[in-house]
């Protein structure tokens, strides 16, 4: 047998590649839901950088929702519910798989809570499921003495840099104060009492894997500074100071991101890496975030979702 023939035979006998046709072909459409200050694009750059096309490449039907960049979880949730109904009407599907990043996590949870019949699964990526210390700082409700003035200034400066970088917006109504309230520790607790599905009942634990026919998953990063060439990383390093040393991705504590089945909460990624930003400048020594979305689509596929 020739060397080329041996190589071809070895490839034929090897396990199917994760890039095989149909790898991401879920039963139900995937709907991606952006987080706080989510944008349509920054110039030619989409919020979900390279992710929708990677999912579609091997069979997934993918839709990118556009909800308010900054508003309450309930307002964003109602906007998303309207779009979910439109997607179902257009595709003939009976349910959708919701994947939400950051504030998109609780936004997707709202829809699954009020209309579980329309949702097959919820995947929270870096989701603010039990509040964020950064939101508490914005509202001035961080515990007295928990942050020095120097740290407080650093956190707010970092956040200002992030906000100034993110531009565009969804064209929906905006209310930054309501967004901050929703993402605060107190606001998240109130939301969770009304919509408890998938939320852990123990500190930094897992939540129910399935509630009312909806499967719940989560994953997140835990490293604020990951790439010296990414202009967002210094700002995230500053906002990470709000967590007092607790594991976080720069904007959300790892324990707060946990929902349902926790795939991992400690990838060496920051909050922007989780959506392959900025323009793919992520940690070269960690699994590429696009791969994680593809793996999740395959996981849903294998579950018949």
Q: Which two tokens stand for residue 242?
A: 């709000």
Q: Which two tokens stand for residue 140?
A: 């001035």
From 68, 72, 102, 113, active-site residue = 102
From 218, 240, 271, 273, active-site residue = 271
Whether 273 sits among the annotated catalytic residues: the reply is: no
Whether 103 sits among the annotated catalytic residues: the reply is: no
**3-state SS class at 102:** coil
From 58, 233, 249, 273, active-site residue = 249
Distance CA 272, CA 166 (A): 11
Instruction: Please state the φ and ψ torsions of residue 37, each to the nearest 5 degrees.
Output: 60, 25
* Residue 173 half-sphere exposure toward CB, CA atoms < 13 A: 12
Q: At what angle do helices 73-91 and 185-194 cross, to 10 degrees?
A: 50
* Residue 55 half-sphere exposure toward CB, CA atoms < 13 A: 30
Whether 271 sits among the annotated catalytic residues: the reply is: yes
Q: Which residue has the tokens 């936004």?
A: 107
State whether the Cα torsion 158-161-167-172 is positive or negative: positive
**Which residues are part of the catalytic machinery?**
102, 249, 271
């Amino acid at each position: 047998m020739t060397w080329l023939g041996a190589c071809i035979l070895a490839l034929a006998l090897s396990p199917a590649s994760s890039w095989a046709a149909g790898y991401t072909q879920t039963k139900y459409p995937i709907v991606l839901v952006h987080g706080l200050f989510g944008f349509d694009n920054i110039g030619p750059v989409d919020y979900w950088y390279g992710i929708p096309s990677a999912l579609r490449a091997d069979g997934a039907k993918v839709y990118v929702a556009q909800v308010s960049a900054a508003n309450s979880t309930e307002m964003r949730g109602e906007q998303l519910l309207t779009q979910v109904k439109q997607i179902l009407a257009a595709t003939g599907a009976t349910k959708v798989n919701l994947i939400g990043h950051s504030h998109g996590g609780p936004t997707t949870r709202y829809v699954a809570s009020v209309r579980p019949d329309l949702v097959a699964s919820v995947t929270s990526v870096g989701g603010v499921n039990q509040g964020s210390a950064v939101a508490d700082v914005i509202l001035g409700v961080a515990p007295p003495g928990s942050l020095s003035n120097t740290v407080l200034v650093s956190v707010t400066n970092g956040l200002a840099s992030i906000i100034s970088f993110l531009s565009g917006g969804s064209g929906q109504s905006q209310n930054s104060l309501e967004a901050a309230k929703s993402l605060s520790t107190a606001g998240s607790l109130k939301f969770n009492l009304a919509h408890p599905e998938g939320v852990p009942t123990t500190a930094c634990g897992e939540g129910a894997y399935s509630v009312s026919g909806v499967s719940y998953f989560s994953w997140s990063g835990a490293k604020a500074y990951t790439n010296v060439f990414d202009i967002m990383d210094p700002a995230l390093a500053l906002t990470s100071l709000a967590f007092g040393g607790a594991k976080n991705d720069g904007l959300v504590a790892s324990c707060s991101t946990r929902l349902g089945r926790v795939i991992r909460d400690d990838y060496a990624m920051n909050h922007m890496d989780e959506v392959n930003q900025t323009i793919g400048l992520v940690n070269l020594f960690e699994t590429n975030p696009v791969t994680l979305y593809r793996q999740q689509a395959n996981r849903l596929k294998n579950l018949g979702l």
